[in-house]
């Protein structure tokens, strides 16, 4: 059973468009991370959010942690083909603090 549901599962957009990816759970996270994975490679850490309501920006990427720390979103402004990849959220739960639980993933394709 996946504790972290991501939506949409797949997104194909044109270069220059904006998009938002969602990560939802019924459980409270002590912290949440976002990773990006390119084909044939391992995921790479983008950001960690810890505080409810926290917003972090990484160039054209904006990450938000929900007030109740049960959900998160990733917004990309003016998407570029280099943003193409599998986006994964991953959380630490109070009852499982030794490891990250990963979300179901959102596959993003940005067409030039």
Determine if 42 is a binding residue for another protein (CB under 8 A).
yes
Sequence-separated (6 or more) residues with CB below 8 Å from residue 100: 33, 90, 91, 92
Determine if 13 is a binding residue for another protein (CB under 8 A).
no
Determine if 6 is a binding residue for another protein (CB under 8 A).
yes
Determine if 19 is a binding residue for another protein (CB under 8 A).
no
Please, are residues 35 and 44 in contact by the beta-carbon 8 Å criterion? yes
Q: Residue 97: is it exposed, middle or buried by C-beta count within 10 angstroms (0-12/13-18/19+)?
A: exposed
Residue 80 vs 97, nearer CB to another protein: 97
Please give the Cα distance from 31 to 107 (Å, whole number): 23
H-type alpha helices, 8-110: none
Please give the Cα distance from 79 to 63 (Å, whole number): 15
Residue 55 vs 78, nearer CB to another protein: 55
Determine if 45 is a binding residue for another protein (CB under 8 A).
yes
Only segment of 13-21, 57-65, 69-77, 86-94 that touches another protein (CB under 8 A): 86-94
For binding to another protein (CB under 8 A), which residues are involved?
2, 4, 6, 9-10, 30-31, 33, 35, 40-45, 48, 50, 86, 88, 90, 92, 97-105, 107
């Amino acid at each position: 059973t996946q504790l972290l549901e991501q939506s949409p599962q797949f997104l194909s957009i044109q270069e220059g468009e904006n998009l938002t990816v969602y990560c939802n759970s019924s459980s409270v996270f002590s912290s949440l991370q976002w990773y990006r994975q390119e084909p044939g490679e391992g995921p790479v850490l983008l950001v960690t959010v810890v505080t409810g309501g926290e917003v972090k920006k990484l160039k054209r990427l904006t990450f938000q942690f929900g007030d109740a720390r049960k959900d998160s979103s990733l917004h990309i402004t003016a998407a570029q083909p280099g943003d193409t990849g599998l986006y994964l959220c991953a959380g630490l739960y109070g009852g499982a603090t030794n490891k990250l639980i990963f979300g179901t993933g959102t596959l993003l394709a940005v067409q030039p």
